[in-house]
Structure 1
Amino acid sequence: MTDGGVRFGIVLLPQERWSGAREKWLRAEEYGFDHAWTYDHLAWRTLADEPWFATVPLLAAAAAVTTRIKLGTWVASPNFRHPVPFAKDVMGLDDISDGRLLLGIGAGGTGVDAEVMGPAPTARVRTQRFAEFTALLDRLLTDPVTEHVGEFYEAHGARMYPGCVQSPRVPFVVAANGPRAMALAARYGEGWTTFGPTLAGEDLEELSPGQAQERWWAGLARMVEQFEEAARDEGRDPRTIDRYLNLDGAPVYSLDSYPTLAEGAERAAALGFTDVVVHWPRADGIYAGSEAVLDEVAARLPELRALRPHLAEVAVSEVAQA
């Protein structure tokens, strides 16, 4: 949990060859962002037929050329990851980055890379698989040798020497929008992340951008309440778990303008989010925007960090009785 102001992170999609991407990862650090992320997919949504590179080598390269900024997966999932070899990758990235890795993990959604290795599971099975995936990753990254036989995975004499640089393991930032995933985030996560509610309904097209934005923030506030309840149910004080908001889950792109970003960060802090994450502007399509806005955001990060997450007081007895 941060003792200071809100922290800021940025996502760089893995679309450029390293010869071009290297400069952006260095700029992310020079700009002063606290953490930088890339998507862990084989292909993604509307960009499925565009260039798309592998996550682990990209983060390894970024770790080798940066020195301060934390680096992470946004987010890894069981859609095409097996906990045993992936744990080795995670341990290696933590080593190359000298303990700067954040492991963003989620259940995985539907879409291009959900079916590339076979039929996509149902939502129920996907959640069950994620529960086992998370628990096994926790053991693999904590224990020197792991034995496990489960419904979805097996591990026999899985060795993890010398272990993570960070102790007891790399921090988990668990993506969760629903109650079962929130319970996992509360149980295993050093952090919880969300893109907020998915807006739906026949009348959604009739809403103005401002109305849609307000509906999103109202739904997000309810999700925060649900997460805090899940944390208490796990016997944890919600204030001890970092909260990462993907601000670009909102209907309006965060880097549409500096005022848009500043308002979003202020409202996120008011809901108790310790960390705000935005996406590097693209030339067109999703996350299309101007790098001039990114430059302004970077220049004004010090004043944005003056925002303090509002974390409601929790009675000790509340947590103890959960």
Structure 2
Amino acid sequence: MRVGLTLLTDQPWAEAAPRWRATEELGFDHAWTYDHLTWGGLPDSPWAGATPVLGAAAAITSRIGLGTLVSAPNFRHPYQLFRDAQALEDVSGGRFLLGVGTGGDLDSRLLGTDEMGVRDRVDRFQEFVGVLRALRDGDHVTTEGRWFSTADARTLPGLGRTPYLVAANGPRSLRFAARHGDGWVTTGPYAAASFAAWAAGLAESVETFETALADAGRNPATVPRYVLTDDTPQPSRPGRFALSSVGFFEEVAGRVGELGFTDLVTHWPRAEAPYAGDVAVLEAVAADVLPRLQG
């Protein structure tokens, strides 16, 4: 199993850069950040854009994958995102991973966009992914959709094939990810009452995803599966954080490994919520647990 860390962009780069560098030095496989205008978990904090931060991270690392968890259509046209992905693939030497998802509605509301229901947001996301795939697979791309269109969009230089990792939790989205994703990303059931309940819900999602892969005629061994293990704390519950202790991390990793996940993603511990924790736990996991998981 590969293991990665998500680093939030609420810090100045001078403070954040050592963490990105340390993620690689400690032996983790990939590093991620959220892609928002403002993140709902820290609505009153500074926030930096994902793509320039990832470009800077590419310049100070050489091995780890770098990606977004996730980019959404709430404030991006797919052609703009595709161009950003091309640049990040280039500057990272082919290490960029593009996680994409439906996303929440905070970014849309900040731009004064009319709110839409969940069904329309999922429809829009699926159209978004369709345009991204068309851009990656061709040149002079013309598409006409309900939300997004392109007219003779050029895609030169056409660098490589950045993986599109499709986020999905519900049955409809799981079937879509199985058909169209280069990998699957999931958080498992949101707001689960306990770790056991979360793991049980995650197992149901795995079953649905595997059935959808079979229906699509895809080999499960060729589709990586990423699980975000942490639940953002809410006033009514403390949340779940894999790095709260070495023992709990091992328990989480063991369970998701049993479910067939190829990749686990947690967060760099912060001094305060969300994801409050001790960097010493992170370092102990890196020294004692990572070698066993990666071996």
TM-score for both structures, normalised by structure 1: 0.86
Aligned: 1:187 with 2:174: no
Shift of 1:145: 1.9
For residues 132-181 of structure 1, give each alpha carbon's deviation from its aligned partner in whole angstroms, at most 9, with x where no partner exists: 100100111221220111111110111111112x3xx2101111001221
Consecutive unaligned residues of structure 1, counting only runs of 5 or more, are 1-5, 205-211, 307-322
Counterpart amino acid of residue 162 in structure 1:
P
Instruction: Output the CA distance in 2 between the equivalents of 1:46 and 1:23.
Output: 23
Partner of 2:291: 302
Partner of 1:116: 110
1:231 aligns with one of 213, 219, 222: 213
Partner of 1:162: 157
Partner of 2:73: 78
Contact 1:186 1:231 in 2 (8 A): yes
Counterpart amino acid of residue 294 in structure 2:
R
Contact 2:186 2:228 in 1 (8 A): yes
Instruction: Output the CA distance in 1 between the equivalents of 2:41 and 2:291.
Output: 34
Partner of 1:219: 201
Partner of 1:272: 260
Instruction: Output the CA distance in 1 between the equivalents of 2:172 and 2:269.
Output: 33
Instruction: Output the CA distance in 2 between the equivalents of 1:199 and 1:89.
Output: 32
User: Secondary structure at the residue paired with 1:88?
Assistant: helix
Partner of 1:258: 246
Partner of 2:124: 129
% identical aligned pairs: 47
1:66 aligns with one of 54, 61, 69: 61
User: Secondary structure at the residue paired with 2:41?
Assistant: helix
Instruction: Output the CA distance in 2 between the equivalents of 1:249 and 1:191.
Output: 21
Instruction: Output the CA distance in 1 between the equivalents of 2:107 and 2:147.
Output: 18
Question: What does 1:90-101 correspond to in 2, within 5 Å?
Answer: 90-101=85-96
Counterpart amino acid of residue 262 in structure 2:
T
Instruction: Output the CA distance in 2 between the equivalents of 1:141 and 1:21.
Output: 31
Counterpart amino acid of residue 125 in structure 2:
F
Contact 2:24 2:61 in 1 (8 A): yes
Instruction: Output the CA distance in 2 between the equivalents of 1:65 and 1:130.
Output: 32
Consecutive unaligned residues of structure 2, counting only runs of 5 or more, are 233-238
Partner of 1:15: 10
